[in-house]
Amino acid sequence: MLYQTYLQIHLGNIRANIQEIQKRVGANRKVMLALKANAYGHGAVQVARMAEEIGIDWFGVATVPEGIALREAGVKANILKFGPVFQDAIEAAMLHDITLTVCDKENAQTLQTVAAQLGKHAKIHLKVDTGMGRIGVSVPEAPELARFIEQDCPDLDLEGIYTHLPVSDIKDQSYTKAQVERFKKVIEEIETKLSREIAWKHCANSGAVLGHEDAWLNMVRPGIMLYGYYPDKETPHTVPLKPGLSFYSSVIFVKKVRAGTPIGYGQTWVAPRDTWIATIPAGYGDGFNRLLSNRGRVLINGRSYPVVGRVCMDQSMVDLGPETDVKVEDIVVLIGKSGEEEITCDEMADLLDTITYEITSQINPRVIRYYDEDGVRD
């Protein structure tokens, strides 16, 4: 085995999740897949290729290089860069046919100038801040910005308008409902001002796909649910989801230690009895978080073992107990199933007081990704 720590990406499960989303929102709506941060760690190119095969033709990325990487891999679908683009990246983005986000007049003017220089028509989506407080033109200023793009930027094609929903995943639906109403109203105002329809209107992240039918418009924009996780425990589980990945390592060293033996940096764990310790070649340099020190657990041959001592950059130790048959090269499950036992991504996120988004997107590039089709480890 060249790689001792690896991810098994369950592409078949991700495909099934996408198809469940399509079923929920209906065939008359587009589904734009959020593929930013390497598809939340799952591999943007592989997810995009699989998704194109089942007819998905919209992807969202966070950066221009993420979009270019998809183009260089042969992805033909529309790619929207969420968020404004820096001046230096505009030309590359346009040459790679990446749809750009506009939030203000200055940015629109700069995009127009570059598009004219390149002799290209650039597709853009207008981002409106209806209550996220992150980026976007304010609601009162949005119609004038739309007019400016339409009338004063002849090389920009305003084909989309979108907003983002910060609390679509919680039980209290009132804030999101008000936001969606605001968004619909501003779309109406813009369409009246331009005397035409905007082709694509979108705001539904996973929380809204699951719980806010009024937010679906003619395109939805899910991320985390593609990969098999609900954005929050409170979000209605209206779509069945299957996990997009399992995270594996292997035992590289087993030793018996006497009671009183300190283990690892800082000597934060001292063997309370004679015991067997396994070392695994996965640490925070792989995305196995250091906060799992003395708190996390792993599965080996269907049994659960606690992480003892501090998680190192490349290695971690687990306590196998006084009797063990665990041996070098046994598979270690960091996230996933082993026999009857399972460590879910949600369990790890809860333990680390974070969200599944952070767990999967922080599994580092040196961890090789293997892609299966049927969800079974090969």
Ligand X SMILES: Cc1ncc(COP(=O)(O)O)c(C=O)c1O
Binding of residue 123 to ligand X (CB under 6 A): no
Binding mask 56-75 for ligand X (x = CB under 6 A): ----x---------------
Q: Are strands 100-102 and 122-129 parallel, antiparallel or unpaired?
A: parallel
Least Cα distance to 202 among 91, 128, 310 occurs for 128
Binding mask 233-262 for ligand X (x = CB under 6 A): ------------------------------
Minimum separation from the CB atom of position 222 to ligand X (A): 4
Of 231 and 296, nearer to ligand X (C-beta) is 231
Of 134 and 273, nearer to ligand X (C-beta) is 134
Binding of residue 222 to ligand X (CB under 6 A): yes
Whether 300 contacts 220, CB under 8 Å: no
> And the tokens for 239?
């779509």
The owner of tokens 């304010």 is 138
Q: Which residue is nearest to ligand X (CB)?
A: 223
Catalytic residue list = 36, 265
Neighbouring residues of 327: CB distance < 8 A, sequence distance ≥ 6: 251, 254
Q: How many CA atoms lie within 13 A of 113 on its CB side?
A: 8
Stretch that binds ligand X, among 218-226, 238-246, 256-264, 328-336 (CB under 6 A): 218-226
Binding of residue 205 to ligand X (CB under 6 A): yes
Of 358 and 372, nearer to ligand X (C-beta) is 358
Rounded Cα–Cα distance for residues 237 and 230 (Å): 7
Of 43 and 60, nearer to ligand X (C-beta) is 60
DSSP states of 133-147 as a string? -SSSEETTTHHHHHH
Query: Which of 34, 44, 156, 263 forms a contact with ligand X (CB under 6 A)?
Result: 34
Least Cα distance to 136 among 179, 182, 103 occurs for 103
Q: Which residues bind ligand X (CB under 6 A)?
A: 34, 60, 82, 164, 205-206, 221-225, 231
